Chain A
Amino acid sequence: MIKERDEMSRTTIIPFGPQHPAFLEPLNLSLKLSEETVIGAEINYGYNHRGLEKALTSDFRRSIYMCERVCGICSFFHSTAYCQSLESLFQVQVPERARYIRTIMMESQRLTSHLLALGHTAEAIGFESLFMQLFRERESIMRMVNDISGNRVHYSMNAIGGVRRDISAQQRSDIVSRMDGLEVRFEELAKIFEKDPTIRARTVGKGVLTPEIARSYGVVGPVARASGIAQDLRETYCQGLSFRPVVREEGDAYARSMVRVEEILRSIDLIRQTASELPGGALNIPFRGRPTGETFTRLEAPRGELLYYVRAKGTTDLERIKIKTPAFVNVAALSAMVPGCEMADIPVITVSVDPCICCTER
């Protein structure tokens, strides 16, 4: 029966994007279809390439501002990775309080990022009311970070040697009570993600990435953890806090969503721990001179491992800066996920890897 269909059908190429209602960003998939079944996909990049690796080398102080503009969803991770690179070049030890404040802000941004990814998934499925509810919760975190940093998207809180803004005692208790409220409300939404028949029908078994293929693409973050690869850089970064990574085995779009759902609860927990144990002391330590040497710095961004390579030769401008973003490897793995799926599943599968084109292309 299947053989007969193969002989009868002919191959069609359908362009998907760069402007598409399911995508927030410009990405183009060239889909090869046999009737309704996708048999291959070519991913075309370059719509969002601004050339930041060159721009970031112009002035190492100005780059703190610039590197947040690599990506608006994980801006704080970029500036933290950049500042940590420069700190290691200057051999500055960041004060404990600054390290905790960075953790609070990073985990808060992870919440907004994961809620966006889940909301986007709900929207791609057509579950409008769930999308609205997730974004209502996301908005409460946006307000919280706005209260702390004065900004909603680019926090501009990082400095080489620490942070520039403090978290007051009032804000600390506000953070804890917000996390308590969010946890209760989000657990309800998590149940919908876990059990709702519509979501299950649209995501279970879709876009499967086996551990072998996941390794051959080198995927990271929730995409890797949903395929049974237990790697999370927070295990080493969050020393002293109780943390363990979320891992699932299925490797499909459902597993990727469920990893994010679980991670939201872990992040809530981490924020509460850090906010209640916030140590006293200075916010930042001054540095002197100009950077020299080279360094690799890694962080666990919402989409996975973010690596900054910085090389400097004692001048104001940097010699070379290389940013390896998690989306760069995760988006490429899409071409292994889509063959065999239906055309209608493309938005859900694409959104399930949480594609971030501005990170991918920089």
Chain B
Amino acid sequence: MSGRSNTETVARVAAMMREKETRLVTIVAADEGGGEMELIYVLDRDGELITLRARGRRDEELESLSPAYKGAENMEREIIDLVGLSFHGVRGGLFLGPGDDPPLRKDDKGA
């Protein structure tokens, strides 16, 4: 039970959205190579951009923001497809079909 690498960040995002009108703009996922990844949660509060970051292993199952925030679901599904991460309780298949390799993975050659 090492805990998910982004659990704390997701909890902070959810708390921020509860306390004051805050909009999730997007989630940027980047493969750092060597099995590492980075997630950036981009928020908008009163027209100002706030970023919260989480780093961790690529093969870990990540905490999902979708139960707290509907708009996060497609963002997470896209990340599953393109970067090959996995979120708890979220399925991929938004843009790519089953069996397609995640194209934005570092050590993957891609097409």
Contact = CB atoms under 8 A, between A and B. Distances in A.
A178 interface: no
B69 A218 contact: yes
Nearest to B77: A45
Interface in B15-73: 21, 23-26, 28, 30, 40, 42, 44, 47, 49, 51, 69-71, 73
Chain B interface residue bracket vs A: 20 to 34
B71 A51 contact: no
Given A45-B94, A49-B96, A231-B47, A332 B71 contact: yes
Given A45-B94, A54-B103, A329-B71, A324 B110 contact: no
A46 B25 contact: no
A180 B47 CA distance: 33
A207 B69 CA distance: 21
Given A296-B42, A296-B51, A54 B104 contact: yes
B73 to A, nearest CB: 8
B71 A53 contact: no
A54 to B, nearest CB: 5
A345 interface: no
B93 to A, nearest CB: 8
Contacts of B71: 216-219, 329, 332
Nearest to A333: B71
Interface of A: 45-46, 49, 51, 53-54, 215-219, 231, 233, 235-236, 296, 298, 305, 307, 309, 311, 319-320, 322, 324, 328-329, 332, 336, 361
Given A309-B42, A332-B74, 8 more contacts: A45-B95, A46-B97, A53-B82, A217-B70, A305-B44, A307-B26, A309-B26, A322-B30
